[in-house]
Amino acid sequence: MGETKQFFAHRGVSGEYPENTMAAFRAAAKVKAHGIELDVQLTKDGEVVVIHDETIDRTTNGIGYVKDFVWNQLKRFDAGSWFHPKFSRESVPLLEEVLQWVTTLNYPLLVNVELKNDIIDYPELEEKVLQLIDLYHLQSQCILSSFNKASLKKINELNHSIETAYLIEGIPVDILKVVENIPVKAIHCEASFAQSIIGKKVQERGYPIRVFTINTMNEYNNLIKSNVSAIITDYPEIFLENKVIE
C-alpha cells in the first residue's frame, strides 16, 4: 500500500465556489485539502493579484485586461456573481491576502502559485511573488508553476530552494531535456501524460507528477497505476471523503 496522494483544490473548490476567491480557498481548508492551486498576474501598479484569465471579463462584472487596472480599481469589481448571486461580495484577492490567511490555519496548507506569464510578460512578477512568500515564511509550503520556461529558470536563479513545477499540455517528447535545462523539481500535466511511457520515464528520473484537472472517481481510478504524486481537482471533497489511497 502506497502513501496517501495529495489533493489540491483547483483555483480553490472551484466546482462549488467562484474560482480564485477567498470563499473558494476557505472551502478547500474546511475539507482539509492538502493544497490549493491559484493563478497570479500583476496590476498596472504592480500588485500581485489572484486571477486566471488575462482579462477580467469572464470572472468579474468588469471588462478589460488585468494589467490595465490599478489595484484600487480592480478590487471594486464583483468576482462572485458570475458563479452565483450569493457570492456577490467576493472580490479578486491579492496574493498577499491569501498567504496571510494561510498562516492562520491550523495545518500546513500547500499553495501552488501558477504564474500566468506565458501570454503577457509581467516584469518582476517572479521577484514579487518570492518576496511575498518570504514575508510570510511560507517557502516550505509553496510550489511555483508556469508554462513559461524562462520564468521558471528565473525563479530557480533567484531562489533555487523553492519548489518549481513545469506546466505542460499533451505529451511533449523532449520533456526530460527541457526540465533538466530549466531546471524544475516537478511536472504538472494532463492524465494522458501521466499514463504515457514518457510520463513513466519522467517519474523514474525522480520528478513528481501532479495531474490536472481530475473531477471524478472514474478519472482518478484510471490514474491509480500511474503512481502520480497529486491530483488537482475542482472537487477535493469527493476524494477526501473516500479516503483515497494508492
- Is residue 52 part of the annotated active site? The answer reads yes
Q: Is the dihedral of CA 210, 212, 213, 218 positive or negative?
A: negative
Q: Please state, as a whole number, how many other Cβ atoms lie within 10 Å of the Cβ of residue 227.
A: 15
φ, ψ (nearest 5 deg) of residue 6 = -95, 145
Q: For every residue of 136-153, which 3-state class applies, written as one string? A: CCCHHHEEEEECCHHHHH
Q: Name the grid cell of 63.
A: 471588462
The Cα 145–Cα 225 span in angstroms is 25
Residue 31: HSE in the Cβ half-sphere, 13 Å Cα cutoff? 26
Q: Would you state the torsion angle of the CA atoms of residues 189, 144, 18, 209, taken in this order, to the nearest 10 degrees? A: 20
- Is residue 10 part of the annotated active site? The answer reads yes
Return the closest-CA partner of residue 191 out of 235, 227, 165.
Answer: 227
Helices (DSSP H) in 60-118: which residue ranges? Answer: 71-74, 95-102
Across 130-159, b (16+ Cβ under 10 Å) vs e yields: bebbeebebeebbbbbbbbeebbbbbbeeb
Could you say which of 10, 34, 84, 188 is catalytic? Answer: 10
Could you say which of 34, 52, 137, 160 is catalytic? Answer: 52
Element (H, E) at 129: helix 125-135
Active site residues: 10, 52
